[in-house]
Amino acid sequence: MNVPPVPPLIDLHSHVLPAFDDGAADLEEALATLEDLEADGVVSVCATPHLRASAIADPEVWARVDRAWDTLVAGGRERLRSLSLYRGCEILLDDLITDFSRPALRLGESRSVLVEFVAFTILPESPALLKTLVDAGVRPVLAHVERYLGYRGRYEVVEQWRRAGVVIQVNSGSLFGEYGDLALRQATVFLERGWVDFLASDTHARPGRSPSIRSAYDALVESGAREQAELLLSVNPRRILEDRPMVVVPPVVRRRGLAERLLEWLRACQWRIA
Ligand SMILES: [Fe+2]
């Protein structure tokens, strides 16, 4: 039987700027993480350091970001074979921000911006808040939606975000329980409802310690969701960089339950699950 090749995987959410945030501690850790991704078939990575919206006008912050970026690029030139690095940020929405003219705020200089809410909390005004970003001319990508705590089983707000023009990102590690049972369950619900636009690693540069996005690709294929795996990990991330509309990802059909199947598959592979 012919097995289709793994498509070029793209990771748009990673904390690999050396010694900048709670990601890579130094250049060595950053490059080791990127080499792992490259070995897994990842062709493009967007570095998305944590930034507070309230600090985005601070030139000292940008001096630090730029220095860390330059260090990473110089180191990568020596060590990385063909991986393309893109700039971006993960913006904590602790303040209203409408000026996204600085290219490094956007993913690969596209019109998409990666954002997260404060303290993993969903405020009632979240759809309106995200709509202000859309009205400012950017495409908000809401990071790791499965990790928020405020749904209380009512997920309709995700549809409101999507209707407002928000792109929905889930962390690949959530499919493996890396962030606990609730995140795994919520990631499963969103995949089953076809609400997830793409997956990303959100790696904090702990080489060998987190399931990579390749693990997520393989697990989805193993679960019978090859089409979704390609859309979530290759096609749609590419379309973010190209400023093209997202392709609708069909619901990942529950057989015995995606979560159970993923865990079964991982156990079969003797993956260590925390
Ligand atoms: Fe992140």
How far apart, in whole angstroms, are the C-alpha atoms of residue 232 and residue 253? 15
Summarised one tens digit per residue, pLDDT across range 228-262 is: 999 999 999 999 999 999 999 999 986 655 666 66
Summarised one tens digit per residue, pLDDT across range 139-166 is: 999 999 999 998 987 899 999 999 999 9
How far apart, in whole angstroms, are the C-alpha atoms of residue 46 and residue 159? 26
Interval between CA 185 and ligand 1 midpoint (Å): 19
Mean pLDDT calculated for residue range 8-35: 96
Interval between CA 85 and ligand 1 midpoint (Å): 16
Class of domain 9-268: alpha beta
Interval between CA 3 and ligand 1 midpoint (Å): 33
Query: What does the DSSP assignment read for 169-213?
Result: EEEGGGGGTTT-HHHHHHHHHHHHTT---EEE--B-S-TTTS--H
pTM of the model: 0.92
- Kindly report the backbone phi and psi dihedral angles of residue 63, in degrees, each rounded to the nearest multiple of 5, phi listed first: -65, -40
The pLDDT-based confidence of 207 (bands split at 50, 70, 90) is: low
**Domain-wise residue ranges, the chain:** 9-268
User: In this structure, is the dihedral angle defined by the CA atoms of residues 140, 146, 151 and 155, taken in order, positive or negative?
Assistant: positive
Interval between CA 4 and ligand 1 midpoint (Å): 31
Interval between CA 14 and ligand 1 midpoint (Å): 6
Interval between CA 214 and ligand 1 midpoint (Å): 18
Interval between CA 209 and ligand 1 midpoint (Å): 16
Interval between CA 258 and ligand 1 midpoint (Å): 24
**Contact (Cβ atoms closer than 8 angstroms) between residue 76 and residue 33:** no
Q: Are strands 112-116 and 139-142 parallel, antiparallel or unpaired?
A: parallel
Summarised one tens digit per residue, pLDDT across range 114-133 is: 999 999 999 889 999 999 99
79 pLDDT higher than 70: yes
**Contact (Cβ atoms closer than 8 angstroms) between residue 179 and residue 152:** no
Q: Which residue intervals of 124-174 are DSSP H helices?
A: 126-135, 156-163
How far apart, in whole angstroms, are the C-alpha atoms of residue 217 and residue 234? 10
Residue 103 is predicted with a pLDDT of 95
